[in-house]
Structure 1
Amino acid sequence: MKKLVWTTLLVSGLAGVMAQSAFAQQDSVKKKSSFGIDNGLISIKINGKDSTSKAKASKGRFMGGITLTRLDIGFSRLVDNGSFSLSKENDFLDYTGGKTSTISFDVLQFGYRFDPHFKVYIAGGFDWTMIRLKQNITLKKNSPTLDYDQESIEFSKNRLSNSYVHIPLNFELRTKENSHGKRFYFVFGPEVAFLLNGKVKQISKEKGKEKFKDDYNFEPFRYGGTLRIGYGGLGIFTKYYFNDMFTTTAQKGLKNMAFGITLGLN
């Protein structure tokens, strides 16, 4: 996950440097240009004038580009047929709630701002769910069912995780700016996601650190909804995924939800 995050940041940074260099070359010929970040999105200035300033003044405008916003950090919970208590069939997935977490962020967005108080946009980014298992088990790879081996050793960490590419469609309502230049936000909308991979990470005295990659029967296509409420650049969120977490019959009705804080809400 760390490699993917740093790669995303590096690509975004290189894109900015390349764009800045290109506009600097134009400056040496005829026009003065500059590159900057406006509300998390790339903005371009030509001849000393912000190309987005006129659009901002108008009632509606298209918006889009590279963005590193809506960093969601929080906790995940498994919902077993409407209950937070796991059934006997899913008891092997019992987890430590305080160490079962989620993190996601967006890297691209495109949409339309109808007026200063309402906009609609589609975004793209990455999403991780990390489940800290309580039992000393090892989930089997390449298994048609979510099967496992009971281990005789004790793991100091036994984590099952997945990573998705997510595509949310957000509807955003916001108030006028107050005297401090901040406003309240209310954001909601559906989301779809596509599985990248699953992974088990284990740490024990006997075997040290081990990592195993497999899809672990995670649902390859996930859909759900997101709700955010925020003020300024800080908010809270909740997500709920409507389809099952796994494709296996024994885990039918086992779903995933998440909640936490949002940084970089704009």
Structure 2
Amino acid sequence: MRRSILTAVLVSGLTVLAALGASAQQDSVKRKKFDINYGVGITIGEKKDSTGRIDQSKGRFVGGITFTRLDIGFSKLIDNGSFSLSPQNDFLDYKAGKTSHLSFDVIQMGYRFNTNFKIYVAGGFDWTHIRLKDNITMQKNMPELTYVTEPIQFSKNRFSSSYVHVPLNFELRTKESHKGRRWYFVAGPEIAFLLNGKVKQISDERGKVKVKDDYNFAPFRYGGTVRMGTNGLAIFAKYYASDMFDSAPQKGVKNMAFGLTFGIN
């Protein structure tokens, strides 16, 4: 059931994001009941002047449902400060080009002090997908992160984690140009809570296999994010300062992510 809900939310978010370009062309008269930030959310607390345009000169609380800040990029593991895995963690060796990060927000609440500065807290989901190189299977219900070497060849061997994240963002943005363009700089810390871990494998011998467990992923995680961009598109970088796993042999293994953000606002 939880997977179905998450899938529905993701599909809804992607559908709304697909309308970015079209929604940006709508004038403010067609949006008097609520403000749709670049077509990716419904915001409350916006005040409008007599022409129907949003009054951004005064401080106000803002928030609501939002399918935005869709981050798509790559993940990198850092083993005690090195991008090279230590011998004891070499089984986590992965295909860099297929190890990915995906996240998006579904709700936000904050305060806009003026047209250039806003603070808000958000809530959403994120996934890290590690494409393992070796033909191994992570073992569930083990006190430490444990694996067995398999005598078969996997065409896909993906080791994943999913979290509910709660970021606190500080947003600076420039004045709007005569073409309606603004530049955004957003940074802040976040905390996250583990939903589950998952192994997904595909092979000729076993077909498609999916197994869920916590796999000793850290139940609580903290880190920070930086974004910079304009007109609904940005680049992002994330670093998680906490250990990636609760398992003692993996102490010091952390991860980071970088890529593109769709729907920055």
Q: Taking structure 1 as the reference length, what is the TM-score of the superposition?
A: 0.85
The equivalences for 1:150-169 within 5 A come to: 150-169=149-168
CA RMSD in angstroms, aligned pairs only: 2.1
Contact 1:35 1:42 in 2 (8 A): no
**In structure 2, do the counterparts of structure 1 residues 240 and 43 end up closer, same or farther at CA, with 3 Å as the change threshold?**
closer
Partner Cα distance (1:184, 1:9) in 2: 28
Partner Cα distance (2:216, 2:263) in 1: 33
**In structure 2, do the counterparts of structure 1 residues 256 and 112 end up closer, same or farther at CA, with 3 Å as the change threshold?**
same
Amino acid at match of 2:234: G
Match for 1:4 among 3, 6, 25?
Answer: 6
- Which position in structure 1 is the counterpart of 2:28? none
- Which position in structure 2 is the counterpart of 1:17? none
Partner Cα distance (1:43, 1:137) in 2: 47
Partner Cα distance (2:109, 2:138) in 1: 40
Partner Cα distance (2:205, 2:229) in 1: 46
- Which position in structure 1 is the counterpart of 2:224? 225
- Which position in structure 2 is the counterpart of 1:133? 132
Partner Cα distance (2:170, 2:72) in 1: 21
- Which position in structure 2 is the counterpart of 1:257? 256
The equivalences for 1:237-256 within 5 A come to: 237-256=236-255
Q: Tell me, which stretches of 5 or more residues in structure 2 are unaligned? A: 16-30
Partner Cα distance (2:181, 2:4) in 1: 32
Once the two structures are TM-superposed, the CA of residue 52 in structure 1 deviates from its matched residue by: 2.9
Q: Larger C-alpha radius of gyration, 1 or 2?
A: 1
Amino acid at match of 2:187: F
Amino acid at match of 2:107: L
The percent of aligned pairs where both chains have the same amino acid is: 64
Partner Cα distance (1:189, 1:172) in 2: 9
Q: Taking structure 2 as the reference length, what is the TM-score of the superposition?
A: 0.86
The equivalences for 1:30-45 within 5 A come to: 35-39=33-37, 40-42=40-42
Amino acid at match of 2:104: F
Partner Cα distance (2:81, 2:148) in 1: 28
Once the two structures are TM-superposed, the CA of residue 155 in structure 1 deviates from its matched residue by: 0.1
Q: Tell me, which stretches of 5 or more residues in structure 1 are unaligned? A: 14-32, 45-49
Partner Cα distance (1:234, 1:57) in 2: 22
Amino acid at match of 2:218: E
Contact 2:43 2:65 in 1 (8 A): no
